[in-house]
Amino acid sequence: MQKSISLPSRQTTRMTLIRGKLGFYGHVGNAENRVVHGTDPLHDDELSDVLHESDFNQLGVEHSYDDQILKINMAEIGYFEVYQPSNCESEGYLQFILDEMTHYLK
């Protein structure tokens, strides 16, 4: 059975949105859904209002774990990737998921 991810909300997460991917949907208007790439899309002059009125389905985040800064991509459909550090071993990756991510699974 495939799990989906309940993405961390802007208000409750300890994760920091980073340069990278931010997918959204549920906006009424010309930009109903998109994937945005950039350094700080939530504070972009042209996109900020759209993003704050939308639900996220993809995030690029930075998270402190085990004395490291992890850069992570995740999607509501259950996709999850730690892409930095690039030398993340399977055991460490699985431990991170158990410690930090299982409460987001639905």
> Tens digit of pLDDT for each residue in 35-73?
888 877 878 888 888 888 888 888 888 888 888 888 888
Tell me whether residue 28 is in a domain. yes
Tell me whether residue 63 is in a domain. yes
Tell me whether residue 76 is in a domain. yes
Query: How far is C-alpha 94 from the geometric centre of its chain's CA atoms?
Result: 18
Give yes or no for a contact between 61 and 17, defined as CB atoms under 8 angstroms apart: yes
The pLDDT of residue 27 is: 79
Number of separate domains in the chain? 1
Tell me whether residue 23 is in a domain. yes
Query: What pTM was estimated for this model as a whole?
Result: 0.69
In this prediction, residue 16 has a pLDDT band, given cuts at 50, 70 and 90, of low
Give the SS3 label for residue 43: helix
Tell me whether residue 71 is in a domain. yes
Tell me whether residue 83 is in a domain. yes
Give the CA angle between residues 78, 79, 81 to the nearest 5°. 140
Tell me whether residue 1 is in a domain. no
Tell me whether residue 11 is in a domain. no
Instruction: Return the structure tokens found at 71.
Output: 């850069």
